[in-house]
Amino acid sequence: MKTPDLDSTIETIANSRFDRRKFFRQAGMLGLGAVASTAVLGTLPARAETSSQSMDTTAEIFTAFLIAEDLATTFYYHGLVGPVIQNVNLAGPGGSATHVTSSGNLGNVEYIRAALTQEIEHAELFRLALTGSISGSAKDPYQTFYFPNGTFNTLSGFLGILDALENAFIGAYLVFIQEMAQKTALARVGGLKGGDAKYSLTDYEVLGKVAGSILGIESEHRVLGRVIGNENPANNYGFEQTDGITSIYNGKQSAVVALTPFLTPSTGPGYSLQTALAHQGSVSLPVKGGPPTT
């Protein structure tokens, strides 16, 4: 059974191009705001964009992406254990993440199981970058994430949020690469200040490459979500988009602003990160490879 309110929210997110702040006011933050306006981006003064980026410290950037990857972890886990998993495009009626029925689609389920593993690995990378050692996910900034009612009940709701999230993540990683290029340039001339100066020129070069490698995975998630939904062509972009995001942590068009609705109880029911991490081993699939180191 479809959830009318959720379907309306997803349609708004998918089809609209508008000012995120105005949307938040009108929707009371219920409408997510994960998709920003390319038209708005086009009218933003370049100086404002550069100013917001220059305000982002390396620690703030890592923090924003830790929150984003924890959000993604929570999303994919609860999709795998929620009612939506019994859709015929996933495990089928009576099926589960680890038991796909004859009427289900094993490949589609395994896409999501692998995506869960990937998001957990991404979060751990940023957790390590922030602390220098494994301090545990219990110390992450947010432990609960909020989704519109019915997100994990229907395929249209689940895939709509997946598409909105992955587009926002892709945009954020594109900006991450840009910001690492800026910090690399400053590192070459000794222009880094404060905590940013503790990272070397090589660190920033490698961080840009790491961001590119994660961007590739998030792009796969976007396309595979479209495969699950039978959207053709699934690979419908010639170039991945910034989704209206112009900075990571600071500024009106930041990635943090895009995440805000998922951190807000008024959006809908809350879902626990720790529940996802405690039980992910029962539904996740292993994946290969690690981040680039040189």
For 63, how many CA atoms within 13 A lie in the half-sphere containing its CB? 11
pTM for the full predicted model: 0.84
Per DSSP, 144 falls in state: E
What share of the chain in percent tops pLDDT 70?
A: 82
Distances (CA, A) of 105 to 40, 85, 102, 183, 217: 39, 10, 8, 45, 21
pLDDT at 149 over 70: yes
Instruction: Return the pLDDT at 36.
Output: 28
Q: pLDDT for 229-277, tens place per residue?
A: 999 999 999 999 999 999 999 999 999 999 999 999 999 999 999 999 9
What one-character-per-residue DSSP string does 65-130 give?
HHHHHHHHHHHHHHHHHSGGGGSTTTT-TT-BTTB--TTS-HHHHHHHHHHHHHHHHHHHHHHHHH
Tell me whether the omega of the peptide bond preceding residue 233 falls within 30 degrees of 0, making it cis.
yes
* SS3 state at 272: strand
Q: pLDDT for 42-65, tens place per residue?
A: 333 444 455 677 799 999 999 999
Q: pLDDT for 184-225, tens place per residue?
A: 999 999 999 999 999 999 999 999 999 999 999 999 999 999
Q: Residue 90 — φ and ψ, nearest 5°?
A: -120, -115
Instruction: Return the pLDDT at 50.
Output: 57
Q: Give the whole-angstrom CA distance, residue 40 versus residue 289.
A: 38
Instruction: Return the pLDDT at 54.
Output: 79
